[in-house]
């Protein structure tokens, strides 16, 4: 039985096409993936992300525990700030990629992938058992308590203060939601209930994510819709979420990331803080950073008109007798009008500008390795 978010009936009433995703029954599109994608790039889109997991870590030992368990440096986070981070195993493989928010000095909120909540929880429990100061902090799986929405796009800043009025009561001090800077988080009172709002997202556009008690997330959705509709806000599904993140070169767990792939191989070394001291996977990750990796995640763009590349398509290089790699994400870019994707290749082929070929249904189509993001917003 698939899980359903608090917004499930709303999606049905909006005529959404529903698909299985990470054990959840989720809207893949309401009208059209391209129309929803374009709305987010030009105006605004509203996503149900209630399927994502929430894990709360609090107590005086929480920061030390997380700094030993995650790759990024939690000490860089002041109260009211968030950062992207990775949860790795001892082999440096990625158990999950996540966002960690410091809600209070000793309280952290982890937003994790829906499909990985159980794996994360199990892995974290093992780390708790090994933690030297296990009485100094507490972990709670709050996934069922919370729902969440993401509101993304260039016009969001023009209406979000009307949807969630007033100043913050916790986290970053802000007189209104738009007072938050990128990666900042704060607690606001929405219709009498505290909700967490962060200026983060997964689309490459300006925008916010709102984490609210599950029973309140419908009211948050409605308020955002009322405030934003006339400015072009429309519901957007997982289809657009995927094309938007692919254009940005953002990883999706299960595609770019898995337990046998490290953040260094994935091109996420920026989120691995080697100077913070010991953490799980450090030794292998450091060796990879210094001595190199055997595979590397690259972004690519098709150079001619072709069918869209898809996950699993072989990547070819010159006269090599066998494929040199494999596509892990691929689609038609609604913004660029060409096929785009990401894949793993040996590092000698990872340089932007390298000519490669993607085998799509038995035929090789020319492509070129490009820098991330694949799509750049016109400035």
Partner 1 sequence: MSNIPADLRYAKSHEWVRVEGDLATVGISDHAQHELTDVVFVELPAKGRQVKAGDACAVVESVKTASDVYSPVSGEVVETNGAVVANPALVNSSPYGEGWFFRVRLSNPDELAALLDAPAYKALVGVA
Query: Which residue's CB is nearer to partner 1, number 21 or number 123?
Result: 21
**Taking the complex as a whole, how short is the minimal distance between the CB of residue 364 and partner 1, in angstroms?**
15
- 70: DSSP letter: B
Nearer to partner 1, 263 or 334 (CB): 334
**Least Cβ distance, residue 125 to partner 1 (angstroms):** 36
Per-residue tokens: 89: 């195993």
Q: Which residues pair with 368 in a beta bridge?
A: 301, 355
- 218: Cα separation from own chain's centroid: 22
Beta carbons of 168 and 104 less than 8 angstroms apart: no
Between 217 and 357, CB nearer to partner 1: 357
Helix (H) or strand (E) holding 118: helix 117-130
CB 360 → partner 1: shortest distance, Å? 9
- Assigned token pair, 147: 């729902």
Q: Is the peptide bond before 373 cis (omega within 30 degrees of 0)?
A: yes
Question: Residue 128 or residue 307: which is nearer to partner 1 going by CB?
Answer: 307
Q: How far is the CB of 332 from partner 1 (least distance, A)?
A: 4
Angle, helices 62-69 vs 117-130, to 10°: value is: 110
Q: CB of residue 325 vs partner 1: minimum separation in angstroms?
A: 21
Decide if 171 contacts 186 (C-beta within 8 A): yes
Count CA atoms within 13 Å of residue 47 on its CB side.
Answer: 28
Residue nearer to partner 1 on the CB measure, 93 or 204: 204
Our CB check for partner 1 shows the closer of 34 and 128 to be 34
Backbone angles phi, psi at 144, to 5 degrees: -80, -20
Taking the complex as a whole, the smallest distance from the CB of residue 320 to partner 1 amounts, in Å, to 26
CB 34, min distance to partner 1, A: 4
CB 290 to partner 1: min, Å: 40
Query: What sign for the dihedral angle of Cα 39, 164, 80, 215?
Result: negative
User: Cis (ω within 30 of 0) for the bond into 28?
Assistant: no
Spatial separation of the C-alpha atoms in residues 250 and 353, rounded to whole Å? 20
What is the smallest separation between the CB atom of 243 and partner 1, expressed in angstroms? 6
Identity of the residue, 218 or 334, whose beta carbon is nearer to partner 1 in the bound complex:
334
Closer CB to partner 1, 210 or 302, in the complex: 302
Give DSSP secondary structure letters for 295-336: -EEEEEEESSS-PPP-TT-EEE-TT-SS--EEEEEEEE-TTT
Cβ nearer to partner 1, comparing 172 with 331: 331
Evaluated on CA atoms 133, 97, 113, 198, the torsion sign reads positive
Closest CB to partner 1 among 38 and 225?
A: 38
Q: Is 164 helix (H, G, I), strand (E, B) or coil?
A: coil
Which structure tokens are listed for 253?
Answer: 């767990």
Estimate to the nearest angstrom the gap between the alpha carbon of 308 and the chain centroid: 23
* C-alpha closest to that of 70 among 58, 56, 60, 84: 84
Minimum CB–partner distance for residue 361 and partner 1 (Å): 7
Phi and psi at 183, nearest 5°, equal 70, 5
Task: List residues binding partner 1 (CB under 8 A).
Answer: 28-29, 32-35, 239, 243, 305-308, 310, 331-332, 334, 361
Sign of CA dihedral 173, 179, 182, 187: positive
């Amino acid at each position: 039985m698939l899980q359903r978010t608090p917004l499930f009936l709303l999606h049905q009433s909006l005529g959404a096409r529903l698909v299985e995703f990470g054990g959840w029954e989720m809207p893949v599109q309401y009208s059209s993936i391209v129309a929803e994608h374009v709305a987010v790039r030009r105006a605004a889109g509203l996503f149900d992300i209630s399927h994502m997991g929430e894990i709360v870590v609090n107590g005086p030992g929480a920061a030390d525990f997380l700094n030993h368990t995650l790759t990024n440096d939690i000490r860089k986070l002041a109260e009211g700030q968030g950062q992207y981070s990775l949860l790795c195993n001892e082999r440096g493989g990625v158990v999950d990629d996540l966002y960690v928010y410091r809600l209070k000095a000793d309280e952290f909120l982890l937003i994790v992938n829906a499909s990985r909540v159980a794996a994360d929880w199990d892995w974290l429990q093992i780390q708790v058992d090994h933690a030297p100061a296990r009485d100094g902090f507490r972990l709670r799986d709050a996934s069922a308590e919370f729902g969440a929405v993401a509101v993304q796009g260039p016009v969001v800043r023009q209406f979000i203060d009307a949807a969630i009025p007033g100043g913050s009561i916790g986290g970053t001090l802000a007189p209104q939601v738009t007072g938050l800077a990128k990666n900042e988080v704060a607690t606001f009172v929405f219709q009498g209930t505290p909700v967490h709002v962060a200026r983060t997202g997964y689309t490459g556009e300006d925008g916010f994510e709102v984490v609210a008690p599950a029973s309140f997330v419908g009211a948050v959705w409605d308020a955002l819709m009322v405030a934003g509709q006339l400015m072009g806000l429309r519901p957007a599904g997982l289809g657009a979420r995927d094309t938007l993140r692919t254009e940005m070169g953002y990883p999706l767990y299960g595609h770019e990331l898995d337990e046998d792939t490290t953040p260094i191989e994935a091109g996420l070394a920026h989120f691995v803080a080697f100077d913070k001291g010991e953490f799980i996977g450090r030794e292998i990750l450091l060796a990879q950073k210094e001595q190199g990796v055997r595979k590397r995640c690259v972004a690519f763009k098709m150079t001619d008109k072709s069918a869209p590349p898809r996950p699993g398509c072989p990547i070819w290089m010159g006269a090599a007798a066998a494929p040199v790699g494999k596509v892990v994400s691929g689609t038609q870019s609604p913004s660029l009008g060409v096929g785009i994707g990401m894949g793993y290749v040996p590092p000698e082929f990872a340089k932007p500008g390298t000519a490669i070929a993607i085998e799509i249904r038995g035929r090789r189509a020319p492509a070129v390795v490009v820098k991330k993001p694949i799509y750049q917003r016109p400035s």
